[in-house]
Amino acid sequence: MSTPLEVMEALDADAARLDELEKHIGTATTLLDEAEERWLEVTDKVAEALKDEMREEGRKGDPAQHWVETQARRENREAYTNYRRAERAVKRIKEQLRAKQAAMSGRQSELAALRDELRAGVYQPGSRHSGPRAA
């Protein structure tokens, strides 16, 4: 079992890493917003072009979304790739945040258990206090 000092040091390290991740999630979210905006601009242009083609061919309605996205990826792979990378980065950081928060919660529980153990005066083999505590 860890000592209270070791657990507190680990908690401090976790808190510092959590702060870093929170800064990174802000940056990653901003990049995702920008990449998403660029991707939407690309898909909007492609959708309009496909709609114009359909009108010229005498067809009514809007092009199917999967067709718009397929054409947009073909025409601007970079915007699509940047958007997907930004999505994955945000997802990855969120997963790291959840894992770090869970680790911190576990360490806090361990620290509480150590505290309770010390308060209870648990029997230690070889100690002078081998009997129950006096009331």
Please check whether residue 71 lies inside any domain of the structure: yes
Q: How many domains does the chain have?
A: 1
Please check whether residue 75 lies inside any domain of the structure: yes
Please check whether residue 129 lies inside any domain of the structure: no
Does this model's pTM top 0.75? My answer is no
pLDDT one-digit tens code per residue, 63-121: 999 999 999 999 999 999 999 999 999 999 999 999 999 999 998 998 888 888 888 87
pLDDT one-digit tens code per residue, 20-64: 999 999 999 999 999 999 999 999 999 999 999 999 999 988 999
Residue 63 structural domain: 4-117
Please check whether residue 26 lies inside any domain of the structure: yes
The 3-state secondary structure of the chain reads CCCHHHHHHHHHHHHHHHHHHHHHHHHHHHHHHHHHHHHHHHHHHHHHHHHHHHHHCCCCCCCCHHHHHHHHHHHCHHHHHHHHHHHHHHHHHHHHHHHHHHHHHHHHHHHHHHHHHHHHCCCCCCCCCCCCCCC
Please check whether residue 132 lies inside any domain of the structure: no
Please check whether residue 35 lies inside any domain of the structure: yes
